[in-house]
Amino acid sequence: MTTAFTSASTPASASASASASASASASALTVARASGRRRRRPALQWLLLTLLACVVFSVWPGIDLAVSNAAMRAAGDPSTGAPLYGWGQHPLVQASYWSVPTLGRLALLASLVLWWRRRPASTFWRRWRGRAPWIVAMLVLGVWLLVNEGFKEHWGRPRPAAVATLGGEQAFRAIAQPSALCASNCSFPSGHAAQGYAVMVAGLLAAPHRRRAWARAGLLAGLLIGAGRVLQGGHFLSDILFAGLMIWGVTLLLRTVAVRWRWRRKRQLDDHALSRRRP
**Is 246 within 8 Å of 194 (Cβ atoms)?**
yes
Q: Is the pLDDT of residue 35 over 70?
A: no
Q: What CA–CA distance (Å, rounded) separates 166 from 71?
A: 10
Residue 152 neighbours by CB under 8 Å, 6+ apart: 185, 186, 187, 188, 189, 191
Instruction: Give the model's pLDDT for residue 7.
Output: 46
162 — pLDDT class (breaks 50, 70, 90) = very high
Among 6-20, 116-130, 166-180, which stretch is predicted with the lowest mean pLDDT? 6-20
Among 32-36, 140-144, 250-254, which stretch is predicted with the lowest mean pLDDT? 32-36
Provide the mean pLDDT of the chain.
85
Cβ-in-10-Å burial (0-12, 13-18, 19+) of 38 comes to exposed
Q: Which pLDDT tens digit goes with each residue over 39-78?
A: 779 999 999 999 999 999 999 999 999 999 999 998 887 7
Half-sphere CA count of 114, side-chain side, radius 13 A: 22
Q: What is the mean pLDDT of residues 127-143?
A: 93
Among 67-71, 142-146, 206-210, 218-222, which stretch is predicted with the lowest mean pLDDT? 206-210
- Give the orientation angle of helix 62-72 with respect to helix 208-231, to 10 degrees: 70
Instruction: Give the model's pLDDT for residue 76.
Output: 81
Strand partners, 170: 163
**Is 123 within 8 Å of 34 (Cβ atoms)?**
no
Q: Which pLDDT tens digit goes with each residue over 222-241?
A: 999 999 999 999 999 999 99
DSSP string, 200-245: GGGGTTS-HHHHHHHHHHHHHHHHHHHHHHHHTTS--HHHHHHHHH
Residue 95, amino acid: A
Q: Which pLDDT tens digit goes with each residue over 71-80?
A: 999 888 777 7
Q: Is the pLDDT of residue 109 over 70?
A: yes
Instruction: Give the model's pLDDT for residue 206.
Output: 87
Torsion of CA 68, 47, 188, 229, to 10 degrees: 50
